[in-house]
Amino acid sequence: MRLLGKYMGKYRFQSVMAPLLKMAEALFDLFVPIVMARLINTGIGNGDRAYILKQTGILVMLGVIGLIFSITAQYFAARASVMTCSDMRRDVFAHVHELSFRDLDRIGNSTLITRMTSDLNQVQNGLNLGLRLLLRSPFIVFGSVIMAFTVDAKAAWVFVVAVPLLGALFYGIMLKTLPMYRDAQKGLDAVTEHTREQLTGVRVIRAFVKEEDEEREFSARSAELKRRQLSVGGISSLMNPLSYVIINLGIAAVLYIGAVRTDAGLIMSGEVIALVNYMGQMLIEIEKLANLIIQMTRAGASLGRVEELLAIEPSQKFGNAEVDDSGNTAVEFDHVSVRYNEGADESLQDVSFTALKGETIGIIGGTGSGKTTLVSLIPRYYDATGGQVRVFGRDVRDYRKDSLRDRVLTVQQTAKLFSGTVRSNLLMGNPGASDEELWSALETAQAADFIRAKEGLDTVVEQDGRNLSGGQKQRLSIARAVAGHPDVLIMDDSASALDFATDAALRKAVKGLGDMTVFIVSQRASNVMEADRILVLDDGILVGSGTHAELLKDCEVYRDIYGTQFGGEEAGA
């Protein structure tokens, strides 16, 4: 609730006015049974038409004023709830972007999506209802009790008995359902995760004819979510009928006591009608309060999940230094080791090497040898758990994040493009780039020809580049990085979809980019054999470092890789 108060502070006026106006509306509602009692006792009892018209006019006036207050309160409540959750959603989104890759791996994408959408929508709905009803409904309930005592003290004791019974009912159900709603939201996480996974991998699923298996898995997760929701819904659904039982028993008691006292001449029929009206008002408000408690219980569970996310401190802290590329050394690894999780095996072990400015460094090794892990340490996507990574002579932990990642750009293994145009995607690498610079980057990435054949820089790119081939997406991803004019360019197996001729032309163009230090990660020996230096990784250990010729002579792992791909004769030479 402290988190909610923090965000509602900006909308204090709306947050205060909404419940106050609803209470004002409730006050007018409490006067209605009194007016009705007078109308019945005096107006109808005496056949006084003028008095009846006067009291009817008062009833209409109370209704109109109450309606105005209600509409205004609804506006303030809606504005406060929508704006509060909009600010919270924006901050949650920004906070997620501050988390490191390690943090995101631990949390998982599905729960992040659920918390930023479903959970925050639950909080918004609960806040909206709360601002309108949290004070109004109890005010009507306790106001009805007080007004009942002004009508007839003896009959009013029925109200005194009913209210604590209702309070105990609400508290018990809320206590039981709050943890169950949290479990239901976790079940929604599981369904969201599975849905996301299947939609992104739908081509693979169809290729292996696994639709039925995935449907069964989805049905199982959906059934579990259904079970949790039905379980908590079943308990929550007891709120209304049990409330009705208590209230209707109260009405029956009021009618019985009222009939006895009317027959004895102690009260008039108008007072009995007023008491029944107050009990009826309590019934309506109890129903609203029951729904409010259910909604606020769900909102409370969802707010707790959002608070948990915002409470996660980013595991990486960045310094304030700016990248200074005046030195001759671009990247240094000093006895670097990496372990992704506590107790897990090391993905990299005691790796040391130096890359000079303008060098092309090839990195090769088998699947799972640690190639991507190694290059991910340079822009500090992950942190080394041992040793030190230095860029231009300084520990990467000392740099500002934007300064480091503006100068060290990575082309990931999986090409990722965003909906828009070729121009909008390339400008992510350099927002101020001219069209000439963008075309130069496309030429370097061997993408200019097919872009010219389409609609140039204004060629439409669909989400995730669905309208482009794998090779085209990879070349545009490389062009985006080249357009940023980085000091260090990392190509993490980013040319795997290119044919050998295009790949060779790309490597030649990249090598001619001047003082840029280039890291080429690949499983193909042909992609790295012309590099100034090749690093060979095997199960996280740097087992070889040198030129192609040196490694053929001295590194058995490299010789095996080369021999497997090109035949054993030259490898053994």
Per-residue pLDDT of 85-95, as tens digits, reads: 999 999 999 99
Mean pLDDT of 8-25: 90
Q: Angle, to 10 degrees, between the axis of helix 120-133 and the axis of helix 136-151? A: 20
Query: Are the C-beta atoms of 254 and 113 separated by less than 8 Å?
Result: no
Range scoring the smallest mean pLDDT among 42-51, 121-130, 217-226, 390-399: 42-51
CATH hierarchy code of domain 87-311: 1.20.1560.10
How far apart (Å, rounded) are the C-alpha atoms in residues 438 and 444?
10
In this prediction, residue 95 carries a pLDDT of 92
Angle between helices 136-151 and 269-311 (to 10 degrees): 160
Can you state the angle between helices 49-98 and 269-311, rounded to 10 degrees? 10
Q: Are 144 and 279 in contact (CB under 8 A)?
A: yes
User: What gap in Å lies between CA 199 and CA 215, rounded to an integer?
Assistant: 12
Share of the chain above pLDDT 90, in %: 31
Tell me how crowded residue 136 is: count the other CB atoms within 10 A of its CB. 28
Dig out the tokens for 338 from the structure: 């990496």
> Tens digit of pLDDT for each residue in 432-465?
889 999 999 999 999 999 999 998 999 999 988 8
Give the chain's mean pLDDT: 87
pLDDT digits (tens, 9 = 90+) for 222-272: 998 898 888 888 888 887 788 888 888 888 888 888 888 887 777 788 888
Whole-number Å distance between alpha carbons of 390 and 265:
96
* Spatial distance between the Cα atoms of 494 and 379, rounded to a whole number of angstroms: 17
The per-residue pLDDT for range 482-533, each reduced to its tens digit, is: 999 899 999 988 877 788 888 888 888 888 777 889 999 988 888 888 899 9
**Is the pLDDT at 76 greater than 90, yes or no?**
yes
Is the per-residue pLDDT at 571 higher than 50? no
| 205 pLDDT more than 90 | no
Rounded to an integer, the average pLDDT of 275-289 is: 81
Closest CA to 149 of 275, 300, 287: 275
Give me the DSSP letters along 321-353: BPP-TTSSEEEEEEEEEE-SSTTSPPSEEEEEE
Q: CB of 336 within 8 A of CB of 385?
A: no
What is the DSSP-derived secondary structure letter of residue 316?
-
* Mean pLDDT, residues 329-353: 88
| pLDDT for position 64 | 92
Sequence-ordered list of residues with C-beta below 8 angstroms from that of 197, at least 6 positions apart, any chain = none
Q: How far apart are CA 82 and CA 124, in angstroms?
A: 6
Whole-number Å distance between alpha carbons of 144 and 160: 10
Out of 4-8, 39-43, 236-240, 438-442, the most confident range is 438-442
- pTM of the shown model: 0.72
Does residue 388 surpass a pLDDT of 90? yes
Band the pLDDT of 341: cuts 50, 70, 90.
confident
Instruction: Read off the pLDDT of each residue in 162-180 and give the average, rounded to a whole number.
Output: 81
3-state SS assignment for residue 542: strand
Question: Comparing C-alpha atoms, which of 152, 224, 213 is closest to residue 185?
Answer: 224
Residue by residue, DSSP assigns 234-288 as: HHHTTHHHHHHHHHHHHHHHHHHHHHHHHHTTSS-HHHHHHHHHHHHHHHHHHHH
Residue 1's pLDDT band, with cuts at 50, 70 and 90, is low
CA atoms within a 13 Å half-sphere pointing along the CA-CB vector of 225 = 16
How far is residue 307 CA from its own chain's centroid? 12
Distance CA 543, CA 479 (A): 32
Q: Where in the chain is the domain with CATH 1.20.1560.10?
A: 87-311
Which pLDDT value is given to residue 231? 87
E strand map for 434-562: 460-461, 488-492, 517-522, 533-538, 541-546
Q: List where CATH 3.40.50.300 sits in the chain.
A: 329-572
Tokens read off for 504: 């060779």
Of 383, 382, 402, 408, give the one whose Cα is nearest residue 330. 408
Tell which phi-psi region holds residue 540, choosing left (phi > 0), alpha (psi between -120 and 50) or beta.
left
Q: Please say if the pLDDT value at position 349 is more than 80.
A: yes
CA distance 38 to 63: 17
Could you tell me the fold of the domain covering 329-572? Rossmann fold (3.40.50)
Greater confidence (18 vs 192) lies with 18
- pLDDT at 378 > cutoff 60: yes
Q: How far apart are CA 559 and CA 573, in angstroms?
A: 10
